[in-house]
């Protein structure tokens, strides 16, 4: 998973010269990428992989040590050392071994995983994130499952240039920007898969082992690689650093950033539901536009309504506020109860009713067309009635509710706005008190 361009797929039985050629190309393709940042970490890691010339004696020795440690139950099937010894020590072979090791690491042990990765390439990033996220925990089986393919990749990238004897290449490839790696990883996996499927002959596996040996043959690398190969419960500490540095998306800051972004998008979804006309647009900027427009329009409506209130009745006086307040207290006592029982119905109905006649009402300010206004108000009032009336059955019978409602509403109207009691107003009130109960009864039936 570690970044770097995917290696070109070599033919299953490649001649050494061909491989060298390949490697040349690969190096060239890498070189422009890399800002040659020999960071201490990588420099430290590079010598592990550095020795291009492998002594077979060294390898065998290493192999012995590994077996002695017992940390190498290699999934590909452990080949006897004699197998290893069969192969010449030319750099081409080493390099090819290096390349195939990763293939086998991915293919042999984790063929299923690699396939699933290639199947849905998009998930690659996620998987990597998960693994890297849970990496510091370093105890979960998931990590140990997912870690090793990446590890094997890393080994490949490190090991492949080693065949050419270039240490800088390895560091460069491991320092590639995260996007590159993400973009190229699926391809790499595919190549690898194809390779691993194509190269199942035994002659490669010894090389793999030898490659393992070669990569691990430098002092402290032994433990690390052993762990990688055997997918032990604890992944090495090194790789936490590697991933964090390479991806730059796995450190705690970017994790926090990701959490923040998720929270924000969740809020945006809620706002989208709340603001009308906002669920058609996509994109954060457009949604913010809609929200801004909506808030502005609401604020303007408040301005307008306060202006309207100021103009309509200049001679307001609230002399019998105590009455009103008593009623208010009564209603607030009933309010929570109602809400706890019918939280959705009351609020939703009230809102929908209130928002319907809004445009009609804005223009009908003049007192001349009282009747029209009254008609347009009616839904509003009935909505209010509902919210007010739903708690009546709790202290009264349902039969009483209607009459109670009427008087209640009438009182309320009279006390909220003090007006001269004219004929029209009485009509209004009576019609409202007539309308209200019917609505409320209807409402009860619905409920």
Partner 1 sequence: MKDHSSFKQAFMKNMLLGLKETNASSKIMSLQERKNAIKLSADVAMAFARGNTTWTRAIVVANLAKKEQCEALFRGILGKGYERMTRYSSYKSFKIQRSRKILKRSHKMCCVRRRNTTHRPQSLGVDVLARRMVEKRTQVLRRLIPGGESLDGFSLLNEALDYVIYLRAQVDLMRCLSDQKCAK
Residues 377-416 that bind partner 1 (CB under 8 A): 377, 380-381, 384, 387, 413, 416
For the chain, report the end-to-end CA distance as a whole number of angstroms.
59
Instruction: Show contacts with partner 1 in window 61-100 (CB under 8 A).
Output: none
Angle between helices 398-416 and 321-341 (to 10 degrees): 140
Question: Measured from the CB atom, is 133 or 350 closer to partner 1?
Answer: 350
How many residues at the interface with partner 1, by CB under 8 A? 76
Least distance (Å) between residue 104 CB and partner 1 = 39
User: Does 255 contact partner 1 by CB under 8 A?
Assistant: no
Question: Measured from the CB atom, is 216 or 387 closer to partner 1?
Answer: 387
Distance CA 419, CA 433 (A): 17
As a residue count, the chain comes to 447
Distance CA 433, CA 389 (A): 12
Distance CA 418, CA 320 (A): 9
Instruction: Show contacts with partner 1 in window 269-328 (CB under 8 A).
Output: 270-271, 274-275, 283-285, 288-289, 291-292, 294-296, 298-299, 301-303, 305-318, 321, 324-325, 328
Question: Measured from the CB atom, is 43 or 421 closer to partner 1?
Answer: 421
Question: Measured from the CB atom, is 260 or 280 closer to partner 1?
Answer: 260
Question: Measured from the CB atom, is 295 or 398 closer to partner 1?
Answer: 295
User: Does 25 contact partner 1 by CB under 8 A?
Assistant: no
Question: Measured from the CB atom, is 49 or 387 closer to partner 1?
Answer: 387
Least distance (Å) between residue 399 CB and partner 1 = 24
Q: Collect contacts of 413-422 with beta carbons under 8 A, ≥24 apart.
A: 415/320, 415/323, 415/324, 415/327, 416/324, 417/313, 417/316, 418/316, 418/317, 418/318, 418/319, 418/320, 419/313
Angle between helices 167-174 and 40-49 (to 10 degrees): 130
CA geometry: angle at 268 spanning 263 and 272, to 5°? 150
Token pair belonging to 90: 């030319």
- Cβ-Cβ contacts under 8 Å for 227 (sequence gap 6 or more): 71, 234, 235, 236
Q: Which of 200, 241, 253, 267 binds partner 1 (CB under 8 A)?
A: 267
Least distance (Å) between residue 187 CB and partner 1 = 23
Q: Binding mask 345-384 vs partner 1 (x if CB under 8 A, - otherwise)?
A: -xx--xx--xx--x--x--xxxx--x--xx-xx--xx--x
Least distance (Å) between residue 79 CB and partner 1 = 50
């Amino acid at each position: 998973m570690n970044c770097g361009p995917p290696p070109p797929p070599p033919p299953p039985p490649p001649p050494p010269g061909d491989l060298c050629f390949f490697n040349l190309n690969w190096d060239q393709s890498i070189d422009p990428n890399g800002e040659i940042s020999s960071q201490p970490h990588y420099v430290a890691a590079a010598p592990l992989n550095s020795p291009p010339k492998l002594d077979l004696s060294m390898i065998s020795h290493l192999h012995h040590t590994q077996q002695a440690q017992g940390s190498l139950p290699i999934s590909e099937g452990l080949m006897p050392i004699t197998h290893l010894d069969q192969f010449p020590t030319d750099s081409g072979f080493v390099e090819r071994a290096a390349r195939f090791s990763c293939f086998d690491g991915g293919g042999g042990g984790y063929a299923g995983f690699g396939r699933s990765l290639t199947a849905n390439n998009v998930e690659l990033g996620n998987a990597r994130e998960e693994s890297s996220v849970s990496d510091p925990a370093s105890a979960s089986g998931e990590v140990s499952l997912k870690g090793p393919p990446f590890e094997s990749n890393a080994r490949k990238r490190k090991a492949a240039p080693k065949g050419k004897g270039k240490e800088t290449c390895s560091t460069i490839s491991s320092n590639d920007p995260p996007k590159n790696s993400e973009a190229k990883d699926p391809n790499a996996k595919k190549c690898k898969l194809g390779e691993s499927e194509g190269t199942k002959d035994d002659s490669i596996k010894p090389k793999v082992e030898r490659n393992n040996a070669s990569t691990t043959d430098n002092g402290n690398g032994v433990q690390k690689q052993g762990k990688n190969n055997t997918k032990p419960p604890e992944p090495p500490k090194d790789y936490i650093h590697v991933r964090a540095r390479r991806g730059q998306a796995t450190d705690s800051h970017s994790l926090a950033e990701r959490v923040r972004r998720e929270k924000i998008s969740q809020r945006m979804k809620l706002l989208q539901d709340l603001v009308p006309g906002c669920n058609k647009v996509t994109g954060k900027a457009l949604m913010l536009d809609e929200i801004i427009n909506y808030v502005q329009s609401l604020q303007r409506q408040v301005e307008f309504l306060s202006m309207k209130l100021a103009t309509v009745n200049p001679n307001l006086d609230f002399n019998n506020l105590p009455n009103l307040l008593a009623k208010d207290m009564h209603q607030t006592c009933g309010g929570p109860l109602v809400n706890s029982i019918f939280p959705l119905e009351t609020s939703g109905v009230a809102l929908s009713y209130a928002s319907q006649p809004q445009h009609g009402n804005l223009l009908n300010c003049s007192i001349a067309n009282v009747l029209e206004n009254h008609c347009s108000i009616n839904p509003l009032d009935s909505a209010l009635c509902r919210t007010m009336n739903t708690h009546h059955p709790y202290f009264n019978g349902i039969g009483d509710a209607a009459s109670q409602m009427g008087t209640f509403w009438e009182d309320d109207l009279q006390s909220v706005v003090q007006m001269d009691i004219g004929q029209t107003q009485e009509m209004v009130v009576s019609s409202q008190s007539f309308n209200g109960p019917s609505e409320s009864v209807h409402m009860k039936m619905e409920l």
